[in-house]
Structure 1
C-alpha cells in the first residue's frame, strides 16, 4: 500500500520517464491543478480589490493609505566593476578551467552517475548520515523524528561548498532539503500504524544541513566531518526571526506567535545563493501543498486549497490547518527568502519580508557599482514573474555584521518585458523572427520604493505578503516558470532559467510572446539580460534568448544563439545555474526524462565568441533523479551536485534505484546503509595518479562517458 495515497493525480499525465511521484511530492501535482495566475492582469485587479476588501471586513489586516544580431546588448557592455562581481565561491572565485569531452545523453534507466573520461565521483554525504558526535547511525527500519533531527535531511537541492580561506583544506557544506517522499522513506505498514511519528520525521527531514568538510593534503576528495564545530540541522522546529516592513504585521500573527516576528521552521526550500558576505539564502517554494486552506482568494492565488492535504500535517500539527482558529495566517509565514549564517551554529536564521512572498526558486545577490546589494529571484510557477530587490544600505568590505542587514530594507521590483519583433512573427512554433533573434527591452516596475507602496489600494505589508497580487495589479510579464536567476561574475549579465510551461497557448491561457516564444513549451529556455549601463540598480534592461531548449534531432524549434544545433548536447528543462571562473554558464536540468527521454544532467554553455551557445553535457544523474545545486570549483578540478530524488516512482519495499549504496539485496545491508535510494551530495573530480576515487567510477559505457 502506498503510504500517502493509492492514486497519484499525475499518473497518465507525465511523458517519457518523468515520475508521477515527483510531481506529487515535489510540487503537489501542480500540473493538474488550475494555474494560480490564469487570467489577465486587469482581471486580477478586480479579484485583488475584492479580496482585500473582504479581508478588511474579516479583520485579517488593515489596508494602508496609500542571436544572430550581435549588438551592445550582447557584447558591448563595459566590464563589471570589482565590487559588482563580488559574489561568493560557487560563482567563480576559483580560477582555472575544466577540460572534458562532452558525454553522450544517458538512458534514464542507468542507475549511477555518468561522468566524462578522466573524471571520477564519490558521494560526500547522504540522507540519514549522522551530523553530531553522538548522533545515531542511519537505520531506515528504526527511524524516529529525534534521530532525523540529528542526521542529514532528505532531497538536498541548493548546495555550496564554502572553503576556508586560511587553509584551503577545510570548509562547510551547506545544503537545503526541499521535500520528502514518504513512499520511499517508510515501510507502508509502519507508516499506516505510525502516521504522527512519520510526519514528524518528514518535518525534521526538511530544512537545512550545515556540515564541516575537509580533505587531505594533495587529495581532491572532500569528506564530511561528523561532530564538526559548525555542524547544524535546521528543521521545522527551528526558530526564525522575521525582518523587513512586514515584521510584526497582523498578517503574520498567529496563536503561536502573537508578535508576528518569530516563526518555527522553513519549508520546501529550493535553490538559493551565497551572499558576498558569506551567508546563504534559500527560497521557500511550493508551500501550498502543506496547508489546508479556507477558500480565500489570497490562498487560491498561492495554490492553497480548502481541503485536506495529501501530507496530512494539519492532523499532526494544527498550524498547518488554516481552518484552525488562531492559525488563519500561518501560510503567510512561509514563501519567503531565508538567510542563515553557516559559520555560526548558534545564530538565529532570518526570513526577509522585503524580498516579497511568492514561490521563490532562490535568491542571488550581487553588489552594484554604488555599493547597493541587489537580489534576484524567480517565482517558479507557470505564468509567474521575475523580481529584484535593491537595498537601501551599501556594502561595507569586511563588515559582516552590517552587511547582514542589507536585505532588511530596500526597494522591490518586478519585471515587465517587451519584444522588438512584430507580433505576427511570433507564431508559437519557436521560429526566429526576421531580425534573427528573440530579443527586446524591459523595465523593472516598482512594487515598494522608498518605504512606500507603489500599488494602488495595497499597503506595504500587503504588497509584501501578497506579492503575486501586487505584481498582477501593476502588469508584470507572465513567464514560463522562472527558476534560477544568476548574475555572471565575469560580465555582470543576468541569466534566467525558464524551465517549461506546457499550458502556454492552451484555451484561455496566454499565447506565445517574444520572451516566451513557444506554445506548449515543454523544454524551456534561458534568457540573458543586460541592465542599463551594466548597473544592477538600473530600472531598464535589454534581453535576448540565449537558448531554446530541446533535442535538435527531433525538435526543430530549438535555438542556441546561432551555434549549429546539430553540434550541441540535447538539453531540456533548465533549472539551476552556476558559473565557472572563465564565465561559462553551467545548467542543471529537472525533467529531461519526461521530455527528451534522457536522464537529467549538468551542461556547460559557452557565452562568448564563435562558440556562443555551444552546449556540452558534463554528467548525468541516476535513474529517477534530478540534478540540483551545481557548484563549480574548476581550479581544483571539481564539480559538486546535489542528487535529488533518485529512484522516484519506486517504494520502500520495491526501490527503483539503489544509489548511492548499491546494496545488492535487503539482507546485505550494513551499518549506516540502505537498500534503496538516498538523496546525496556528490563530488565529481579529475582523476590523478594515486587518487582514483572510491570505486564508484567502474565501467565505461559506450566510450563517451564513465559510469
Structure 2
C-alpha cells in the first residue's frame, strides 16, 4: 500500500481516505487499451476484444505496464503470387503503451513501390520476374517509450500469368467481363468534346459532329499527360485517348434513316455522315474511386475528319498522280477516311491508317477519258462504284464553291487532271501521322509507306543504331503483308523531341518498302518494292511503272509483279515487346478468294463451318501468323501459325488445329495488341489482346476479346492436313503450326449484340484498359434497334426505341492490379 502523505498541520481531514497510488484507474486503462494500434483499428470486433477480455485481466498486476517491455508485432503469413497482381501486407502491433509509429520496409528482392508504407496495411503491385523470386518485407512498430519491435514476412513471386476465369460465350446485350472487374463507358458516338456543345439526344436530330465523338470507334491508343499538361509517356492518370472512326451506322444518325431527294443526298445529312468519320482526340482524367471522365472543354480535344487539311510527304509528294482541282501541285490534301487500325511512334506521334476508302468514290462511264494504266490501277484498287458509298457526290452544296462533296465524284472529264477529281482516290489509302499533343498541327500522309487498304502500321523494336521498321496488313482477301524500313538508324534522343512531326520526317519519309513472301518450309523473304529492281520499271507489261512515286501510289500492282504471297485478309500487326516477333491477324477467306486448290502453307485451310443451314466453305474462322527476324533490317524471316480460329466442336485433326475449347474458341481474328512493356503484363512473357470481327460464328456468340501469352515461332512443328471442298473433293496441305495455346489463351470479354470488338490499349501501369465497341445493333432500324447498348450496360429495362452507339469501355480490376493478370 502506498504511504499516506501527512498534512503539515497534523490533520489531513478527508485526505486520510484518499488512495494516492500511481496505479492506472479503470477509465485510464480503458482509454489506453482503446488507443492501441492494431491491424483492424476501428473494427468493432477488435475493439470489443480489447475492451472486454483484456480490461479486467490488466487489473491483476502492474507487470504488463513495465516501461522496458517492447511492442508485440506480427507481419502476416507468407504469400505466393505472380507478376502484375496486387499484394496486401498485413501488420499488427500491440502494447500496453501507445504505439507511435509503424512502418513497412522491403528488405530483399526486386524493389517495389509500397503504398501506405507507414500504416498497418500496405500494398504493392508485384513486379514481373522471369523465375520464382522471393521478396522479403519487415514490419516495425515503435511505442511511446521508444521501443521498436519488428517482424518479417515473405512474398514468393512467380512469372506473370493470366489471372481470370474465362468468360463464357454469350449473346447478351452487354459487355461481359470476368468476376472481379468493373466496366464503365466513355466516348459514345455523339458525345460532345468542345465547350458549349449540347449533350447528345440520340434521336437523329443532333448536328455538329465536327465537335462530337465520331461513329464506329476503332483502333485506339493512350498518350500520357503530365499534371502541367505536357507530354508524359508514363502518366497513367491523365492523358489523351486517340481513336479512329472507321465508318457509320447511317440509319441511327438521322431521324428516320438516311434519305435521298430527287436522286441527291441532303447536304445536312451528308455533312453529318462525313464528319462522323476520321479520328478523335480526347483528354481523360482518373478521379476519385478510379472513375474516369472526359474533359469536354480540354484544349487538346480534336476531331480530324475527311475535311481536315493534310500535307503529303515522302517520295510521292507532288506526283502527277496526286494532282486535283483542289491540289494542282499534288502536295496538299483534305482529310482521312475509313480509319481502321493504327500505329504509333516512340517520339509520341500517332499513326492512323486508311483502309476501305475505295468504295466512297463514284466512278463509272469515264473509260474513254482514262489511259490503260489508269484503268488497270482503278480496277486493282476497286474504285469502280457507280454511286459511291452514301452518295455524297450527289449533294448539291448551297455554296457552289464548296467541293467537299464534289470531290467524291472521281469521274474523269476531258480536260486536265487538275480540272476535276479523277485523282482524288489516289489521295487516300495512306498512313497518316499526326501529333496528338498539338491540336492545330497539320497531319502528314507518309507516302513512303505505300498506298493500299492499310489496316494497321505497327512498329517493331527500336534499337539504337538499327533502322526501325513498321509492319502492315492490306485488308482484303488475297492481299499482302508489308514492312517499311526507315533509311535512318534510330537515335534514342529523338524519342524526347518536341517537334514530333519533324522527327517523323526523319524516319518515315525515306526508306524501303517490302512485301512478304512465305515459303512452304517455314522461311520467308522480304521483297523490296524499289523502282528499277526486279522488273519494277517501264518494262512491266501488266503495268509499266514510271518512277518510285508510281510504285508507292500503286503498291498492290508492284507487289503482284514480285510474286508476294496472297493472304487470308491480312489485318492488324503487333510486335511482341520481349521477343520482337511480329504477329498478323488473317481474318478469314471464302471459297471464291481461296478455293480448295488455292491454299498454301501460310494459308492452309479449306473447310466448311456451316452457319445454320448456310455453308461456309473456305477459311471462315481465320488464323494468326507470326514471323521471327534477326532484327528490323532483316530481309528474311521464319514463320509459323500461332493459332487457328475455330469452334471447339470442329475436327481437331484438320480444322481446329489449335485444339481450342469452350474457354478460348474464336472466329475471325482482327484487332491484335501486345501489352505495354511498361508494366508486368508486357514483360517476361507478354500478354496479347486478340479481338474478333466475326460473321461466321455469331450464331453462337457475340464478338469477343481474348487474352493470350504466346510462345515463340517454332514451338510447334510441321503438320499436313486434309482440306475439303464443297463437292466433297479433298486435298492435302502442309503447314507450320505453333504449340496449342491451351490455358494461355482464354476469353476475357464478350461484347453486345451485333458489335465488333476493335481497339485496345492500357495506361502505362496496366491498371486501366480501354476497349472499343463498334457498331452494336448494326442490323437494326431507327424504329426497331437490334441493340440498346451502351444504355443496356447498366441493366434493368431500356426503352425499345433507344438507339445503340459505338463507345469505349474502361475496364479496371477491382483490387487495383494489372488487368488480365
Give the TM-score taking structure 1 as reference length.
Answer: 0.75
- Is the 8 Å Cα contact of residues 456 and 472 (structure 2) preserved in structure 1? yes
Secondary structure of 2:571's partner?
Answer: strand
Alpha-carbon contact 2:783-2:801 (below 8 Å) kept: no
Could you say which residue in structure 1 is the equivalent of 2:789? 659
Shift of 1:114: 0.3
Structure 2 counterpart of 1:149: 210
1:207 and 1:266 in contact (8 A); partners too = yes
Correspondence for 2:268 among 197, 200, 206: 197
1:76-111 per-position Cα deviation (integer Å, ceiling 9, x unaligned)? xxxxxxxxxxxxxxxxxx976575433343323x10
Aligned to 2:707: 604
Preserved CA contact (<8 Å) 2:575 2:674: no
Q: Which has the larger radius of gyration?
A: 2
Alignment partners' CA distance in 1, 2:746 and 2:461: 30
Q: Note if 1:105 corresponds to 2:173.
A: no
CA drift of 1:394 comes to 2.7
- SS of the aligned residue for 1:662 comes to helix
1:327 aligns with 2:432: no
The equivalent of 2:282 in structure 1 is 211
Contact 2:167-2:749 at 8 Å conserved across structures: no
How many positions carry a matched residue from both structures?
A: 567
Offset of 1:142 from its aligned partner?
A: 5.7
Report the counterpart of residue 543 of structure 1 in structure 2.
639
Separation (CA, whole Å) in 2 of partners of 1:381 and 1:204: 25
Point out the more displaced range, 110-119 or 190-199: 190-199
Change (3 A) 1:504 1:460: same
Give, in whole Å, the separation in 1 of the partners of 2:642 and 2:166.
22
Q: Residue 304 of structure 1: CA displacement?
A: 1.6
1:518 partnered with 2:605: yes
C-alpha deviations, 1:556-597, integer Å up to 9, x for none?
3577886x5447511111101111213122210101564663
Q: Distance in 2 between matches of 1:344 and 1:625?
A: 32
Provide the C-alpha distance between the structure 2 equivalents of 1:663 and 1:561, rounded to a whole number of angstroms: 35
Check conservation: 1:599, 1:621, Cα contact below 8 A. yes
Shift, 1:278, TM fit: 1.1
The match for 2:458 is 364
SS at match of 1:404: helix
Corresponding residue of 1:43: none
Deviation of the 1:605 alpha carbon: 1.8
| Equivalent position SS for 1:300 | helix
2:353 to 271, 283, 308: 283
After superposition, the Cα gap between the structure-2 partners of 1:251 and 1:111, relative to the gap in structure 1 and judged at 3 Å, is same
Residues 345 and 460 (structure 1), Cα distance of their counterparts in 2 relative to 1, 3 Å cut: same
Change in CA separation of 1:112 and 1:129 when aligned onto 2, cut-off 3 Å: same
Q: Compute the displacement of 1:315 (Å).
A: 1.0
Match of 1:339 in 2: 433
**Residues 403 and 634 of structure 1: CA distance in aligned 2, closer, same or farther (over 3 Å):** closer
Match of 2:571 in 1: 483
Alpha-carbon distance in 2 for matches of 1:648, 1:170:
33
| Alignment check: 8 A CA contact 1:577 1:588 kept | yes
Structure with more contact order per residue of length (Cα contacts < 8 Å, sep ≥ 6): 1
Matched, 1:683 2:821: no
Determine the C-alpha separation between the residues in 1 that align with 2:383 and 2:520: 33
Unaligned 5+ residue runs, structure 2? Answer: 1-125, 129-159, 226-231, 368-374, 396-404, 414-419, 539-544, 607-617, 676-681, 716-738
SS in 2 for 1:191: coil
Matches within 5 A, 1:690-701: none
1:409 to 483, 498, 510: 510
What residue number does 2:64 align with?
A: none
The alignment's C-alpha RMSD in Å is: 2.9
After TM superposition, the structure 1 stretch with the greater mean CA deviation from structure 2, 169-178 or 496-505, is: 496-505
| CA shift in 2, pair 1:313/1:653, >3 Å | same
In the aligned structure 2, how far is the partner of 1:334 from the partner of 1:189? Answer: 28
Shift of 1:323: 1.1
Query: What whole-Å deviation, never above 9, does each CA across 1:435-463 have from its counterpart, x for those lacking one?
Result: xxxxx1000000027x9896132121110
What per-residue deviation string (whole Å, max 9, x for no partner) do you get for residues 600-652 of structure 1?
11111221399862320000110010000121458443322110000110012
Cα–Cα, structure 1 residues 668 and 625, in superposed 2: closer, same or farther, change >3 Å?
Answer: closer
Q: Relative to 1, partners in 2 of residues 1:471 and 1:483: Cα closer, same or farther, differing over 3 Å?
A: same
SS at match of 1:312: helix
The answer to whether the 8 Å contact 2:667/2:692 transfers is: yes
What is the rounded CA distance, in whole Å, between the counterparts of 1:465 and 1:634 in structure 2? Answer: 37
Residue 390 of structure 2, aligned match among 311, 314, 326: 311
| 1:556 counterpart residue number | 652
- Equivalent-residue separation in structure 1 for 2:768 and 2:696 (angstroms): 26
Deviation at 1:266, TM superposition (A): 0.5
Cα deviation for residue 123 of structure 1 reads 0.6
Give 1:115 shift.
0.3
What residue in structure 2 maps to residue 184 of structure 1?
Answer: 252
Aligned to 2:338: 268
Alignment of 1:115 onto 2:198 = no
Is structure 2 residue 524 aligned with structure 1 residue 442?
yes
Q: State which drifts further: 633-642 or 250-259.
A: 633-642
Name the counterpart of 2:47.
Answer: none
Distance 1:676 1:663 in 2: 13
Q: Compared with structure 1, are the counterparts of its residues 490 and 612 closer, same or farther at alpha carbon in structure 2 (3 Å cutoff)?
A: farther
2:589·2:619 contact (CA, 8 Å) conserved in 1? yes
Pairs within 5 Å for 1:384-423: 384-399=479-494, 400=497, 401=499, 402-405=502-505, 406-420=507-521
Residue of structure 2 equivalent to 1:299: 378
The question of whether the paired residues in 2 share the 8 Å contact of 1:156 and 1:679 is answered with yes
TM-score (ref. length: structure 2): 0.65
Q: In structure 2, do the counterparts of structure 1 residues 297 and 633 end up closer, same or farther at CA, with 3 Å as the change threshold?
A: same
SS where residue 471 of structure 1 aligns?
helix
Inter-partner Cα distance in structure 2 for 1:668 and 1:517: 46
Q: Name which of structure 1's ranges 605-614 and 348-357 shifts more when overlaid on structure 2.
A: 605-614
Alignment partner of 1:546: what SS?
strand
Among 534, 537, 540, the alignment partner of 1:456 is 537
Q: Is the 8 A contact 1:98 1:634 kept in 2?
A: no
